[in-house]
Amino acid sequence: MRITGLDHIVITTANIDKCIAFYAGVLGLRHELKNGKHAFYFGVQKINIHCRPAEFLPAAQHPTYGSQDICLLADDDICTIKAEIEAKGYPIEEGVVARHGALGVMQSIYLRDADGNLVEIAVYEKNSK
């Protein structure tokens, strides 16, 4: 077996409206509702949203609001991204800071979604990839 990538993750939210406001409104991900299931699309990945723990089975054994820590990659200047988020009135938890990702050095900012999940937005330095 050879794992080649990440298709999707699942986040459980306590408030779907606030979840949509963050991922679609603040981060600009495309929101879709199909067959009663919410998802946010970006690149070739997606984030599935459960509106209650174990909404669809199988599911994580102990889904908990605010327990996720995810890193989303962007291809704009990190300072521009930070300014865009701040212009929307959304607080930045930390950053801009240097971090080490799967492909090398990146510049990151951190913020929290409405459920308290930690969301890192990172941009790889040009010579890292």
For residue 119, the model assigns a pLDDT of 98
Q: Which of 84, 93, 94, 120 is catalytic?
A: 120
| % helix, strand, coil for the chain, step of 5 | 15, 40, 45
Task: Quickly state the pLDDT bin for 52 (edges 50, 70, 90).
Answer: confident
Catalytic status, residue 120? yes
Query: Is pTM, for the whole model, over 0.95?
Result: no
Whether residue 29 contacts residue 19, with contact meaning beta carbons closer than 8 Å, is answered with no
Is pLDDT at 129 greater than 70 in this prediction?
no
The continuous run of DSSP H or E covering 102 comes out as none
Query: What is the share, in percent, of the chain residues with pLDDT greater than 90?
Result: 83
Task: Quickly state the pLDDT bin for 25 (edges 50, 70, 90).
Answer: very high
Give the end-to-end CA distance of the chain in Å, rounded to a whole number.
25
